[in-house]
Amino acid sequence: MTEEVKSGFVAHLIELRDRLIKSLLSILVIFIGLIYFANDIYTFVAAPLVAHLPSTATMIATDVTAPFFAPFKLTLFVALFAAIPWILHQIWGFIAPGLYQHEKKMLIPILASSIILFYSGIAFCYFVVLPIILGFFTSVGPQMMTLAPDISSYLGFVLKLFFAFGIAFEIPVAIMLLCWSGATTTQSLKEKRPYIVVGVFVVAMFLTPPDVLSQTLLALPMLLLFELGLILAKFYTAKPQQESKE
């Protein structure tokens, strides 16, 4: 390995380190700005559950430290979610110099779409899925049972759903990238549609809590997003690379 190659490799490592530090600092700054509102944030996230609780029931904390750490943990994840556009900007800044001009023009819309779709998945989960799931679970128990959900257990349940729906809504982006890179084609994906339908339900089973309702509410949007990805992927078919002459 020549000295020039070594120096270039070290420069890339230094740039990667700097961008990782910037990403972590952005999460820290947002977290510090939100920590004062930690309890309010948890109240907002718990609202879909509280709306379905009986008037005499409340949420409980089975751990002495839970009233502090549950809102603290949630605020940290909120800071992470809020920093995603900046983190993706840092990733783009690292890989963009190695791309051709036509590749940049094609990938910028995909990058923007991935951010919008991720937030859309979380919003869909909060405003549509959670009220349906929680309304169902709070209405099927025995009448002699007093429902008192634990704040830490509820937080883990909600965060798992948020991640599942945020990632699942990235399906159109994944399909476009696969077709653009030449790894597959829209025709090939259409031919494998029956297997993909089965695979979607299997993935939903692992990403959601162990109940059929959550799995179905995740699998159906995934199938719709798969069809949307097939439509959009027509504009991202693999083409021979056109290297610019210098």
| pLDDT block averages, 10 residues each, the chain of length 246 | 64 86 94 94 92 81 88 94 90 80 79 90 92 81 74 91 89 85 83 89 80 83 89 69 43
In a domain, 74, yes or no: yes
The predicted pLDDT at position 29 comes to: 96
Domain presence at residue 189: no
Is 8 within the bounds of a domain? yes
| Residue 24 within a domain | yes
> Cα–Cα distance between 35 and 115 in angstroms, integer?
24
pTM to 2 decimal places: 0.83
Alpha-carbon distance of 44 to 155, in angstroms, equals: 12
SS3 string, 85-111, reads: HHHHHHHHHHHHHHCCHHHHHHHHHHH
Q: Give the pLDDT confidence score for residue 27 in this predicted structure.
A: 95
Does 132 map to a domain?
yes
The reply to whether 39 falls in a domain is: yes
Assigned domain for 218 exists: no
Residue 236 lies in a domain: no
Task: Give long-range contacts, CB 8 A cutoff, 24+ apart: 133-137.
Answer: 133/211, 133/213, 133/214, 133/217, 134/48, 134/49, 134/51, 134/52, 135/52, 136/213, 137/211
What is the number of structural domains in the chain?
A: 1
Domain span at residue 134 reads: 3-169
